Amino acid sequence: MITEFVKYLFLGFTHVIPLGYDHILFIISLYLLDSKIKSTITQCSIFTLAHSISLGLTTYGLIVPKSNLVESIIALSIVYTAIENIVKTKLSKWRLIIIFFFGLIHGMGFASALKDAGITQNYFIQSLLGFNLGVEMGQILVILITYLVLVRSFAYKASYQEKIVYPISSIIACFGLFWAIIRFMA
């Protein structure tokens, strides 16, 4: 039982770092609009709650999404958050609702990793909890690295938006759009 939990904890973590390049860019994009760690961890926790719900339902077989459609929408969620960073200067009151919706979509995408790992019904809850905790740990590490590399030195300078947020968000949006097109065509 503990070995299954640890196995899926590791799987969840590695699904973000180093394998989840799209997930890493999504988390960085969430962080850029509001450079406060507490705000970003709140957004990521809402995201994790949502993807936990859809991940469980999809892995259990109650939701059967089309993979290329889900993966395309995941890429478009990256585009959306990156563009929002460019056109807005602060978090809107709707951001957490939008992130919750994106979490539901991402959870359907995460389900393939659990199915590929051969999740069993005997340890379904432990495996699901381990995977989600691993994802959350990976997200928090991305937040901390982003803080140390970008935010700590630049966030409170007048040029933060122009020199950090706009260019990085533009690059993230381009990657997301590229992935959306490639995934939709797959």
**Under a CB-based contact definition with an 8 Å cutoff, are residues 126 and 1 in contact?**
yes
- Give the rounded percent of residues in the chain with a pLDDT score beyond 90: 39
**Under a CB-based contact definition with an 8 Å cutoff, are residues 127 and 4 in contact?**
yes
- Summarize pLDDT for 117-162 with one digit per residue, the tens: 777 778 788 888 898 899 889 988 998 898 888 877 777 777 888 8
Q: Please tell me the predicted confidence (pLDDT) of residue 105.
A: 94
d(CA 52, CA 111): 10
Q: Please tell me the predicted confidence (pLDDT) of residue 83.
A: 96
For residues 21-45, one letter each, b for 16 or more C-beta atoms within 10 angstroms of the residue's C-beta and e for the rest, the string is ebbbbbbbbbbbbbbeeeebbbbbb
